[in-house]
Chains A and B, each alone.
Chain A
Amino acid sequence: MDSELSQWITLLRSPLLDDRLVAIKTLQHLGDEDAIAPLIDALQDDDPTVQTLVITTLWEFAHPSAIPPLIGCLGSPYEAVRNEALSALKELVSTDDLMKLLDVLQTGNFHAQLNVLVLLRKIHDAQALPFILPFFESENAELREAAVITLRYLNQVVRCEPALALARDPSEVVRRAAVLTLGHLSDEGVVPLLSHLLTEDTDWQVRRNAAQALDTLADPAAIAALVAAVADPEWQVRKFAVRALQKVTDSRALPALINALADESSDVRRDAATALGNLGQTEALSALQQTLNDPDIDVRIFSERAIAQINQTLAQTAHG
């Protein structure tokens, strides 16, 4: 090790806080990998500012040897330390670290558990499933929410009955997350449950997310609920219900979609025009014509395209 480097490493152990901070910043700029081991030792420093800066520096080195000590920082009593470690690990963790992360889930540290649930989304490995499920029963709503979001990111998991219960959770934050996750599952109860929540949940964000999930699933069984949701008091619910109806085309949606062409939200008007184009029924033509002088140019453009699409469908049927 050259003398320039060793002088700063010695300073890392100075009793004076300012000395230690200068030493870390200098090591960060020098970027010499011989400093990694002493920096890992400095994670044990008493001062949280020093700890945070050391984490930033180790993050820049991005050396795998720093990953286990950084995982150890996820449960730190200091918020800044935890957050910096989480940011660094989001970049650094890989499949090789899965077992180390799962071990942390078994500890009783709330912060460490929450952060690990977030990191598992970067790894996508279905092996994590049995370790995540117990958190669905957690007393803590944040852990329930984090666990059901993580479920969404696990590859090959297409059925997970316990997730359905979280869509009826007393906390709306948990329900919002659970409903989006259900959009990626194929359990029998999913579409009826989402249809129910789309029309009945008291939280509009839950209803909006249910519409988004039903858009992903594109299941014709949801048609009645989607049509009803086109009259929801919240415009974002109406917008995503109309979007789902662009994929699930059904003539039962025709009257609701024609009404939606006069919606106060331009997004709803525009997306309804596209849905009507996909539906391809002549009954929509006169309503679409009326939107050609809409003040919003997107509505005009998409109405014009819908009219062209319906006319083309007609021409094909006439010749076919």
Chain B
Amino acid sequence: MTNLNTDLGFPTQRLQADVLVVGGGTAGTMAGIKAKQANPDSDVLILEKANIRRSGAIAMGMDGVNTAVIPGNSTPEQYVREITIANDGIVNQKAVYETGRLGFEVIQELESWGVKFQKDPDGNYDLKQVHRVGKYVLPMPEGKDLKKILTRQVKRHGVKVTNRVMATRVIVQNGRATGVVGFDVRSGDFVVIQAKAVILCTGACGRLGLPASGYLYGTYENPTNAGDGYAMAYHAGAEMTNIECFQINPLIKDYNGPACAYVASPFGAYTANAEGHRFINCDYWSGQMMLDIYKELNSGNGPVHLKMYHLDDDTIAKIESILWANERPSRGRFHEGRGENYRTHGVEMNISEIGLCSGHSASGVWVNERAETTVPGLYAAGDMASVPHNYMIGAFVYGRIAGENAVDYLQSLDHLEPDPDFLAAEQTRIYAPLTQPNGIPHTQVEYKLRRLVNDYLQPPKSPHKMEIGLEKFVAYADTLTAMGARDPHELMRCNEVSFIRDCAEMAARASLYRKETRWGLYHYRLDYPDRNDAEWFCHVNLKRTESGEMELFKRPVEPYIVDVDLKREVYDVAVR
């Protein structure tokens, strides 16, 4: 047997852990901490392809919590009801309920670690109502150091961290997850990690569509999140769900960030059309709201903007200090460079490229209320695990659930020696671009792939376009073999492109399979413009068959634990 990595001069590193967490962001740090708390004797390792101090979707910080269920303000039952309505009923309520039930404990624990949430003068959490229903937004005006605080706790709990190693595949033996393979993105070493349980926390698939700016990494989501976990879970045989429910967000035109209406609206800012009037029908952040925005953008009243110019100077200065100092320091420079000022200009908004992310919508790896995927020993949490509208608090809650359950699960298990044939095949696959350094650069291959995603998958969805897209995504597997890399960093990018291709194929197949329109703009089909509960009140799940085919099937919605009448209760209040 020849080892391609050793032929290229890279040694193999072998590691072992009881619990292996892939991805050291919001969910991953919490999963590691909770696994260690559940059993301090267990060996817990977090694998991170960047550096855990500043990685993941909250790499810099976070200016607020979107889903805080604080006693006295709301209940887990209310929360479940609202998430159910916002998702047109397609939810596993038991899983959503856990976010409502455990979210407050998470907030209290973060607070004990030094994270400051906004409180009113009476010492109560200063929750803000930003939609016409529900009161779940809790500002974090000093949230810029959240990731540093989490890293400190990971260290204090004795969780091991391996930075700069990218996982590429989950090892599955005897029907259970037994580790991962990957490589060091600096040294190029081949890395094989045996584990008794694997928790995937790799975030969204944020590099699916191409942003209007044309920049590969100018995405709404953190651009390091290429859908690694979606692809790894799929290849491990785990079920994926609601992939056709795309993530689309309103964001600042030409700037890769949200307009932050959540932050600015309590101060009196709002989303307005070109005439300066509010226009959004929908009462809650959902695909229905995106459809309102899409329609207005494409009407005579577009473009739309975040309006602050009616506010006074002091109020605007306060908004600026939160938006610019906490979440995205580049934002102030962006406006300055364009000669724009919130005092005189609205912040022009656009609709983002598509992505997959359960944090904002519902697509992801199927998990139950114990964070278990359909593969034993494989857990998922955060933006890649389908618990709809989970946001940051949901990532913490499911990181915790995954960490605790994984420790419980692995008690009587032993490590398994990986199959050498599997390792050899994986080496050949991973390192192929390094064998042809003059192959097509990854940037070109990625750019074209994501242009195809924009051209053929961006809603409103046309069946013929999606068929063309699907054909091209399938054929693109061959294009990937022409990619070249000159160093381990480029090799990482090449492997990310292959993850993006997997996600694009899943997105096309799932969108073609569900023959109705649901979730507003997220799955707006031109050929089936109406919701069809009789045939499609179900999840669309997909998985890889033994023979390597992508199989799609309906999965029934579990019985509700909180009663919701979806005929009567809608957030689209539809006033003329």
Contacts and interface: CB of A to CB of B under 8 A. Distances in A.
Contact of A296 (B132, B278, B314): B278
Contact of B114 (A31, A91, A235): A91
Residue with the highest number of chain A CB atoms closer than 10 Å, among B142, B155, B278, B279: B278
Contacts of B123: 124, 153, 155
A152 interface: yes
Contacts of A296: 277-278
B122 interface: yes
Nearest to A298: B278
A122 B312 CA distance: 28
A60 interface: yes
Given A295-B275, A296-B278, A297-B575, A91 B145 contact: yes
Given A184-B121, A184-B122, A236-B312, A300 B277 contact: no
Nearest to B301: A295
Interface residues of A, number: 32
Contact of B278 (A90, A122, A266): A266
B290 to A, nearest CB: 16
A205 interface: yes
A250 interface: no
A266 B277 contact: yes
Nearest to A153: B121
A105 interface: no
A92 interface: yes
B148 interface: yes
A298 B573 CA distance: 11
A301 B575 contact: yes
B37 interface: no
Interface string B113-126: 01010000111000
Interface in A203-251: 205, 235-236
Interface in A132-188: 152-153, 155, 181, 184
Interface string B264-282: 0000101000010111110
Contacts of B312: 205, 236
Contacts of A184: 121-122
A60 B148 contact: yes
Contacts of B575: 292, 297, 300-301, 304
Interface in B279-323: 279-281, 310, 312, 314
Contact of A297 (B122, B148, B155, B281): B281
B304 to A, nearest CB: 12
A31 B155 contact: yes
Given A62-B114, A205-B314, A296-B277, A90 B142 contact: yes
A235 B310 CA distance: 9
A293 interface: yes
A124 B155 CA distance: 31
Interface residues of B, number: 27
Given A124-B123, A205-B312, A295-B277, A91 B152 contact: no
A60 B152 contact: yes
B116 A91 contact: yes
B567 interface: no
B338 interface: no
B576 interface: yes
A121 to B, nearest CB: 8
A91 B148 CA distance: 12
A87 B280 CA distance: 38
A152 B116 CA distance: 18
A53 to B, nearest CB: 15
A300 B576 contact: yes
A304 B53 CA distance: 50
A267 interface: yes
A295 B277 CA distance: 6
A219 B280 CA distance: 34
A265 interface: yes
Nearest to B575: A300
B280 A297 contact: yes
A111 B123 CA distance: 26
Interface in A84-123: 87, 90-92, 122
Contacts of B314: 205
Interface of A: 29, 31, 59-62, 87, 90-92, 122, 124, 152-153, 155, 181, 184, 205, 235-236, 265-267, 292-293, 295-298, 300-301, 304
23 contacts: A29-B53, A31-B155, A59-B145, A61-B152, A62-B114, A62-B152, A91-B142, A92-B114, A153-B121, A205-B312, A235-B310, A236-B268, A266-B278, A267-B268, A295-B275, A295-B277, A296-B277, A297-B277, A297-B278, A297-B280, A297-B281, A300-B575, A301-B132
Given A301-B132, A301-B573, 6 more contacts: A91-B142, A91-B145, A235-B310, A292-B576, A293-B576, A301-B575
Interface of B: 53, 114, 116, 121-123, 132, 142, 145, 148-149, 152, 155, 268, 270, 275, 277-281, 310, 312, 314, 573, 575-576
